[in-house]
Chain A
Amino acid sequence: MFKKSYPLQSKSEILLRNIVVAVMVVFFSVFLIAPIVIAFAGSFHEWNPLSGTYRFLGLENYKNVFTSQLFGTSMINTVIFSVVVIIFRVGLGLGIACAINSVLIKHKSFFRAVYYMPVVTPMVAVAFVWKFMYNPQIGVINQILGTSINWLKDPNLALPAVIVMTIWKDFGYAVVMYMAGLYSLPMDVMEAAKVDGASSWQNFRYITLPLLKPMTLFVVITSIISYIQAYVQILIMTEGGPGTATYLASYIIYDEAFVKYNFGYASALSFVLFVITAVFTWLSFRVSGTES
């Protein structure tokens, strides 16, 4: 039967294909689809898998999500956190990638490795180190600035402090992505522009930037998905405090699921966040014009 449809493929190739596809289907079914379905069903229940509680609540969990003041506050924080970090990630990433890509810079691999190093360092370790750096008495940041600010306990500074740390840790990812994009740019277009008398700025603004648009879109969308899920730095550095000043949406999910064992409510929060992430991603496509 397969031979008729795919005369150029051997039996062994078909067998291999079927095995690979089957493994992938089973893997994603067990580790992705099934948990999503279970969590979706759980979002309509009072659910604590550790004590065995599973009681149908209807839409009660979703009602609680949309009436929760804390969820509203955390969504605002999440948007601020994501937008600021993404802007700096893209801006710094692009700027530094262009700088490293310049003919004036030697040892490009060295700089690329240096900027990428924080990206591969575990967030937990980075967050602990930065928490120590922010210490009001013995932290290096206050010593450099000559201040005694309690960075992580000031409601106006705590979230920006976490944002700065996240930017430092993550912008290297954009550097590497943009460098890959810059390497792949068609040199003939650049040279033609140079022959036509385009300045460096014009070259960047009207040729490099538009050609890097797919890469920018990729960085922005992966960043949106990543930062809407951010919670480790909050867990380590502020625990959502002072009070609830630095609660992010994903931190509430962690708090509800793994501190309070309220898995039903946490699942409802997760699905709301999933929808919001999808909307933001769709908006990014729309704004970039890629979808059309």
Chain B
Amino acid sequence: MMKRRAAALTLAVSMAAGLWGCGGGGSASTAETAPEVEVPTEPFGDTIKYDPSVPINDGKDITVELWEWGSDELFQQIIDGYTAMHPNVTIKLVNNPWEDYWTKLPLALDGQNGPAIFNVHNSYHENMINYMAPLEIPLEDLEADFTGVEAHVIDGNVYYIDYGMMTGSVYYNKEMWEAAGLTDADIPKTWDEMREVAKKLTIRDGDRLIQAGLNFNDDFHQNYLLGLNYQLGENLFLEDGRTPNVTSDAMKQIMQMLVDMYQVDGIGSADFGEKSSDSFGQGQSAMVIQWGHYYNTLNTTWTDIDFGVFEIPTFDGEPYAYNRYNGESTFGINKNAPADQQAVAQDFVKYFLANDDAQIAFNLAMSTFPAKKSLADNPEIMANPSLSVLAEHIDHYIWPGPMPSTMETSLKKAGEDIFYNGVDIDTALNAAQQEIIRDMQSSTFTSVEDLYKYAQ
């Protein structure tokens, strides 16, 4: 254990350096600043072991490409760690912006010269899966080390898993909190308490809203409608796993609560702060619910905001599940790549999964809770408040599977119809239901909500 940690220590340090460099507005190139990588010689890992002494490609030179859409320094550091062990391997990092990535990548994978390794986001699962080779790591080893693996099994094979789990938490402005006379003891556990706290945080000048207690504009569909249903015991899909359940009583109750928060409680307004995330960063709103990535956004973009984080409230304190989560995915392997390149890709993924420090660095960079079981109580992870607030109930979060984008877009339209166009809740949700059904006709998606540990 000690050997393993010592072996990869330098890698972690250099990864962190890369991240800080990114957050600090950039610095000299990696080649100039990265400390010399200490090369591990002993096998490391939990159940999935990586043996650095095994030669790759019989020691012959080989070059593969790794495609990703951002965080170049993070990827480069893990590449540097890997190639330090295997100097005959060259991994060329190719960045394509997110907007282009998902159109260029499938076309590249369909040809002969696509990247052997590529970063995956599960929202594009259906477009990617036909180009992916299954991992050669035994399923039981993956399941022993990582949570949520069973949701990724397709006909006995696993093509990628989650290295981290991202979900929503409440971010609050500490200065506004104190100015309202609130203390840590006031951190709400239920939605009723949340609404009362939000009222105290709201500031008005006559009819004019000066400060919103809670803002959910522009992302209510992602952060409330697609998640709080679980607190009320309703899944997003019916038993067949394909029929959307957005007209459920739970969805209507959540939608009504959102309407009441603005229109009855007056703790915010659909016309105040057009994006909740920006509004919080600009100091207009006291609380927002955002997913993990927001922690890094605040630390890099809105550095003036002194913020705290707490777990999402529940309706009764004992929810069926707290919220939805989504996984940050491990790398994909191109099944159309030459066999020698695929072998390198398989080895690289194994190295990534076995390497705790790489796992920590990636999870901290993305603000995701580690899927690697041995890292659930890791001190570095627990030092991040957006992750530590999830630790106690992390097994009470549900991943519905790689939902088609229509779930988000249709519910966003429904919410806007309700808030801005005067459409009643039933009509708006029924329209969303019909649109989702139509859009999913050609989808192969099936929900994995029934794999939830505490599924009823």
A residues lining the B interface (CB < 8 Å): 46, 48-53, 64, 135-137, 148, 150, 152-155, 240-245, 255, 258-262
- Nearest CB on B from A243, distance (A): 4
- Nearest CB on B from A259, distance (A): 6
Which residue on chain B has the smallest CB distance to residue A256?
A: B439
Contact partners of A136 in chain B: CB under 8 A: 271-272, 274
Q: Are B421 and A155 in contact (CB under 8 A)?
A: yes
Can you list 29 contacts pairing A with B, beta carbon distance less than 8 Å?
A46-B442, A48-B127, A48-B442, A50-B102, A50-B103, A51-B106, A51-B129, A137-B272, A137-B273, A148-B208, A150-B270, A150-B271, A153-B416, A154-B420, A155-B420, A240-B413, A241-B412, A241-B413, A242-B416, A242-B419, A242-B421, A243-B413, A243-B416, A243-B423, A258-B103, A259-B409, A260-B404, A261-B127, A262-B439
Given contact pairs A50-B103, A260-B404, enumerate 9 new A-B contacts (beta carbons under 8 Å): A50-B102, A50-B106, A50-B107, A51-B106, A51-B126, A153-B274, A154-B420, A244-B417, A259-B409
- Nearest CB on B from A42, distance (A): 13
Complex Cα distance, B282 from A135, in Å, reads: 13
Contact partners of B412 in chain A: CB under 8 A: 241
User: Considering only CB atoms and an 8 Å cut-off, how many residues of chain B contact the other chain?
Assistant: 32
Q: Are B273 and A243 in contact (CB under 8 A)?
A: no
Q: Are B274 and A135 in contact (CB under 8 A)?
A: yes
Complex Cα distance, B125 from A51, in Å, reads: 9
Which residue on chain A has the smallest CB distance to residue B129?
A: A51
CB within 8 Å of A: which B330-388 residues: none
- Nearest CB on A from B282, distance (A): 8
Q: Are B406 and A260 in contact (CB under 8 A)?
A: yes
Q: Are B413 and A244 in contact (CB under 8 A)?
A: yes
Complex Cα distance, B405 from A255, in Å, reads: 11
Complex Cα distance, B110 from A49, in Å, reads: 10
Contact partners of A52 in chain B: CB under 8 A: 110, 130
Which residue on chain A has the smallest CB distance to residue B284?
A: A137
Q: Are B442 and A243 in contact (CB under 8 A)?
A: no
Contact partners of A64 in chain B: CB under 8 A: 438
- Nearest CB on A from B362, distance (A): 26
Q: Are B420 and A153 in contact (CB under 8 A)?
A: yes
- Nearest CB on B from A137, distance (A): 7
- Nearest CB on B from A54, distance (A): 11
Q: Are B421 and A243 in contact (CB under 8 A)?
A: yes
Partner of B271, one of A48, A148, A155, A241: A148
- Nearest CB on B from A82, distance (A): 23
Complex Cα distance, B413 from A259, in Å, reads: 15
Q: Are B272 and A245 in contact (CB under 8 A)?
A: no
Complex Cα distance, B110 from A133, in Å, reads: 44
Which 8 pairs between the two chains have the least Cβ-Cβ distance?
A242-B420, A243-B417, A150-B271, A50-B127, A242-B416, A50-B106, A243-B416, A243-B421
Complex Cα distance, B128 from A52, in Å, reads: 10
